[in-house]
A and B are shown apart, each in its own frame.
Chain A
Amino acid sequence: MNILRKFRWAFFVFVAPSFLIYTYLVIFPIVSSMAYSLTKWNAISPAVFVGLNNYEALFKSKDFAIVMTNTWIGLGLALVIQVGFGLLISFLLYQTKAGYRAFRAMAFLPVVLAPAAVALMFVLIFNSDIGPVNKILESIGLSGLKRNWLSDKDIVFYTVLSPMIYQFIGLYVIVLLAGMQSIPPEILESSAIDGAGSFRTFTMIIVPMIWDIIFICVTLITAGSFKAFEHSYLMTWGGPGVRSAFLGVYMYLRTFIDANFGLGCAIGMVILFISLAVTMIFRAVVRRLDYQS
């Protein structure tokens, strides 16, 4: 607004405090993290410069390869399931009048729970000797599907992933629902007049209208996937070995259990780089789609 632009001091009053705090505690640490990632340091004795050794060690490590694969699969599944279910449930809610508030509240309920609490719940639920999952499978005659949810190396990762995905679907339901509700009603009315069924309304009108909101969800899911920590750490310590570890857990273990702070920073840098890169790619894709439609 032109009228405000004459207050040149405004930047210093309104922005400077946040700018300083944010720069000092969020941006500056990234730079020093980069510096630490080039050292060998156990946080007790002085750091020793080792060049790119940490990165080299990382990319040679088999464990790191497993963790990277886990992270990618986790991201892929989270995107498909959370956006998919998010769109489905929010669209259903959007059309619903009776019970709308109750359904909405229940959908969002797990989002407000501490991930640590959810992880503690699920470790009990998945315990294959005493937990309800195997008991339910048994009671409905599907004993063949019983698994050692937290130990089977081919399954444990998905076991740990499930509460993560489950917990945050509700957030995307609410965000997408908000997006749908902000679509001008006239547009939908005209589509109804055209006789479009709800499926067509959904794919042809609603989804294109809320592309930017879907993109926000994708961004949040991506950021969330790379930050993931509690579920894996609390349920399995990332194990057995690193079979159920994500980058975040791997970093924690290497940093605080192994006392290898340099390597920990290197992992942190990898996390940062990948999450920025992925978001950029998504952004480019969304721009492209926007452009085409």
Chain B
Amino acid sequence: MNIRRSFTFTVLGLLAMAVLLPNLSAAPVKIRIAHMWQEGASAEADAALAVLKKLQAAHPEFEFVSEVVVGDEMRNKIRVDVAANNAPDLWQFWAGGVLTDYANAGVLLDISKYLAKSKVVKKADIADSSWATCTFNATIRAVPRNLALGVFLANKTLFKKYNLKYPKTWAEFLAVGKTFRANGVIPTNIGSKGGNPSHFWYGDLVCQYTSGLAGTANLSTKLDFTAPGFVKAAKYCQQMAEAGMFPDDPMANGDWAPSIALYAQGNVAMCYTFPWMYGVFTPEMIENSEVIQLPKLPDAERDPATFIQGTVNDAYCINAKSFDDAKKQAGIVLAMDALTYDISLSLAQMGNMVSVNNAVMAKVDLAKIPNKMMVKATQYNLKNKISGSPMIWQQLPDNKLQFDYQSAVDELWSKSINSTEFIAKVQASLNEFKKK
């Protein structure tokens, strides 16, 4: 009898403890952050994660959980998580049309609420044009993160070896390409898988025309892809593909990492890339690279010596529902401050990104940046007063349009379609969108 009774009490006691324990020991509130820094994958990742670790140490009342997804898979993750009602509290995403669905469905926090609480991020520190890429129906839905600031490089050794001058005009560009091809060197690194990095290059050519620049800027509202700028630039891309200016296998050598790999091996004469790839450059590669301008198209109306692709690329989002949770709010603000300010600062100081936040950039001393690729590019941009031009992909107002555009660029690059079909394809997709 006694044994049975004590057994019953023990069981009851254990049960009670199981129920009460989680409540008694105030468990830290979980803040889930979806970002792209895989531990050990790069110096950039480790630097960003170090900031998060410091934040964690300073605020044990919260548990900051990383959910790492690298690159375009993030789109799939967020889609699924939001659909499952299981979205992270904050996530790294992109600016522009990719946010539309989420903004319309009320998933994203009105950023003014965050700005009201933030200790470090002020609205005035980020240019209005940057905020505009994250604004939907007059409400800001994400905090812009970095600039997609293009750079075009020439391999000094190869140019010297074949006794060539850096091309400034289209004719010169095609001519050096021909010489390189004849000698088994791939003229440029611009492959195309999922539209990377090809769609930026196409956009850069488009912006050599006033109609192209205006067309890009108004794309999200006018939904018109037939302006002369779009058509002509596509024609020149087709010409490049036919002349062998791209890698032979643009799919295999497209996307970010592969597009740099060939240049790194010294097989490519000219390299078009963006700051998020600077971490891959070795000192020898940087030493051997000269920043050059994009070639000027025969009928260009704007001089590519003065501009390059340069607009907001990534943005950070806050889950509106989580922010309304009083327990989480302070933690979210802390994490968001770390992402948009501390990490940006740390990466900008390393030379791995160009932040859109002027307060961050003001603290970056160019002379102290260890990544000399960034130093070289920045000095060139300052000296030549390079301005940033808008990005077509970002201006496309929904996921399907963006995807159709990306895959049409792949087709243009791989000579699966010609420039006329390319324009028609993108326009058809826009028309379909218009109908809705």
User: Hey, which bits of chain A sit against chain B, CB under 8 A?
Assistant: 42-45, 123, 126-131, 148-153, 156, 236-237, 239-243, 253, 256-260
Contact = CB atoms under 8 A, between A and B. Distances in A.
A156 B82 CA distance: 35
B101 A42 contact: yes
B53 interface: no
A149 B252 contact: yes
Interface string B391-421: 0000000011001000110110111110000
25 contacts: A43-B79, A43-B83, A44-B79, A44-B107, A45-B104, A123-B252, A129-B262, A130-B262, A130-B265, A148-B248, A148-B414, A149-B252, A151-B251, A151-B413, A152-B414, A156-B414, A239-B194, A239-B251, A239-B410, A239-B411, A240-B250, A240-B413, A256-B75, A256-B76, A257-B75
Given A241-B408, A258-B403, 5 more contacts: A129-B248, A151-B413, A237-B407, A240-B407, A258-B400
A88 to B, nearest CB: 32
Interface string B92-109: 000000000110110100
A129 B267 contact: yes
Interface residues of B, number: 37
Nearest to A123: B252
B205 to A, nearest CB: 19
A127 B415 contact: no
A281 to B, nearest CB: 33
B266 to A, nearest CB: 13
Given A129-B186, A150-B249, A237 B193 contact: yes
A153 B186 contact: no
Interface of B: 75-76, 79-80, 82-83, 101-102, 104-105, 107, 186, 192-194, 247-253, 262, 265, 267, 399-400, 403, 407-408, 410-411, 413-417
A241 B410 contact: yes
Nearest to A257: B403
B399 A126 contact: no
Contacts of A243: 411, 416
Given A129-B186, A148-B249, A236 B193 contact: yes
A253 B400 CA distance: 9
A243 B247 CA distance: 19
B82 A129 contact: no
A149 B249 contact: yes
Contact of B252 (A44, A126, A253, A256): A126
Interface pairs A-B: 4 shortest CB-CB: A43-B83, A153-B416, A240-B410, A151-B414
B247 A129 contact: yes
A229 to B, nearest CB: 14
Choose among B186, B251, B413, B416 the residue with the greatest number of A CB atoms under 10 Å from its CB.
B251
